Amino acid sequence: MRPNLILIEGLPGSGKSTTAQLVHEIMKELNIHSQLILEGNLDHPADYDGVAYFNKVEYDELLNALDRSFRDLVNERTIRLGDNCFLEYRKLFNELGSVVPDDLRQACASKDIYELSLGQNRKLIVDRWKQFAERAVLGSDTYIFECCFIQNPVTMGMIKYGADEEDVVSYVLELASAAEKLNPLLIYVDQNDLDHSFRKAVDERPQEWSEGFIDYYTNQGYGKRQGYEGLEGTIHVLNARSELEQIIFNRLSIAKMKVNNSSFDRDHYKRILTGIITERMCVNG
């Protein structure tokens, strides 16, 4: 059965974005309509990026603290599901530029869905995945998701909060269960040398990215608890993350494949991916 969802996962610097883009390219060549959803997509159909969550009381308090002109703009960018209010604040801030009130910025930053407690984050994200699966199963498109399936729960659970292994594993398994009706395929991108691939990413990406990444990985949760610091400490955390992700990979019962991207040879890598996709899509009958 053809998958309606392809999940691309792996550690930072492994080539997840390249893999997702290549899979999308291969799908086009096979005349299979697909939608590519990369990390950071503000319109992600199964995840939240740049979205703050408020219950009704919190939302009313937020509106009452704003000038009327901003209230209308905030309302326009808010999705209401019962008593739950989801404010697409990053879209709003992109539109408004520098005129966003500081109080609104602070409120949204503190209530971003990925700044909530692990339990609250998990509930909202799992619900979002269930809603997506209900819609997607009615269509014929294949969705390609980059790194929101394993990476986000691991980042929240292990990196941010230092949660127990089973709490993180069960989070990912719950997402897999939510997406089960889409016959998902997981492609996990591996590297022979984690140290080399991450240092390569640090060298190639802006300094702001590496500084933010290192701070996130060493000044909270698992990294802080272990006393890790700087680039070397971040690599220690990544090694621990890699071990956890392998446990998760082994526990998943969905269709799954590991692919090695250590050579960074695009043509060779594309041929490997084409073989995987062709087999899974049953294009040969």
Whether the model pTM is above 0.85: yes
- pLDDT cut 90: percent of the chain above it: 91
Give pLDDT, residue 97: 87
What average pLDDT does range 82-106 have in this prediction?
93
Give yes or no for a contact between 162 and 221, defined as CB atoms under 8 angstroms apart: yes
What is the Cα–Cα distance from 38 to 117, expressed in whole angstroms?
Answer: 25
Q: What are phi and psi of 206, to 5 degrees?
A: -60, 150
- DSSP class of residue 157 equals I
From 3.40.50.1370, 3.30.2420.10, 3.40.50.300, 3.40.50.11540, which CATH number describes the 5-46+118-281 domain? 3.40.50.300
Nearby residues of 137 by Cβ (< 8 Å), 6 or more positions away:
4, 181, 182
Give the residue extent of every domain in the chain.
Answer: 5-46+118-281, 52-111
What average pLDDT does range 184-195 have in this prediction?
94
What is the Cα–Cα distance from 157 to 245, expressed in whole angstroms?
Answer: 12
What average pLDDT does range 186-206 have in this prediction?
93
List own/partner pairs for 61-64 with CB under 8 A and 24 or more apart. Answer: 62/104, 62/107
What average pLDDT does range 256-275 have in this prediction?
92
Residue 177, judged by CB atoms within 10 A of its CB (0-12, 13-18, 19+), counts as: middle
Give pLDDT, residue 282: 65
